[in-house]
Amino acid sequence: MVVVQSTGYAPIVRAFESGAEHAEPWVDAQTIASGIRVPAAIGDYLILRAVRDRHGTAVSVTDDEIVDAQRAMGRLSGISAAPEGAATFAALSHPRESGFLHGSQRVVLFNTGTGAIELSRASYRMMIQNLVWATGYNAPAIPVAAGVLAPIGFILPMSIGAVAMSLPPSWRPMRNCSAA
């Protein structure tokens, strides 16, 4: 049995390592894995007792390791893991490196959520960005194309308008909006 928490919030890991029976509150908890960032570890003494009674251990992983694990799980197995589930995959190397796990042991990782929420957030950010860009270039372009400037001698040829409207979105400066 292995307890996994983020380095930005690891009260159970800290209590396990110090031999404490209860986890002390964690000040300024920060992690991308919000499902394992809870205000107080209810039943902390039960968790610690269960891990110790079963000769388990507790490890913490960084948010960068969690993100790398999300990507690896998607690439290797097609699983879109939530950060909490990816934390278990990220932690897999720690017990192996410490000798807690050996090469022939079977391991079960619990992935309790899906990465679809993070993906939908990324999609939403991309939609907002596209809306802002579309508003920005259409606000002046539509009146010009409609001939608002014709009285002063400026007439936009239809071919120029057609080319401008057919430009792919890739010409715009974009930032990576991936979930990971």
pLDDT in tens, 43-86: 999 999 999 999 999 999 999 999 999 999 988 888 888 899 99
Split at pLDDT 50, 70, 90, the class of 119 is: low
What is the per-residue pLDDT for 120? 67
What is the per-residue pLDDT for 59? 95
What's the rounded mean pLDDT across residues 6-34? 92
Answer whether residue 22 shows pLDDT above 90. Answer: yes
Predicted TM-score (pTM) of this structure: 0.63
Report the length, in residues, of the chain.
180
What is the per-residue pLDDT for 167? 66
Please give the share of the chain, as a percent, with pLDDT higher than 90.
Answer: 34
What's the rounded mean pLDDT across residues 108-132? 75
Three-state DSSP class for 40?
coil
Answer whether residue 180 shows pLDDT above 70. Answer: no
CB 115 within 8 A of CB 70: yes
What phi, psi does 30 have (nearest 5°)? -145, 125
Is 3.40.50.10480 the CATH number for 2-114? no
What's the rounded mean pLDDT across residues 122-141? 77
Q: Report domain extents, the chain.
A: 2-114, 118-171
What is the per-residue pLDDT for 10? 93
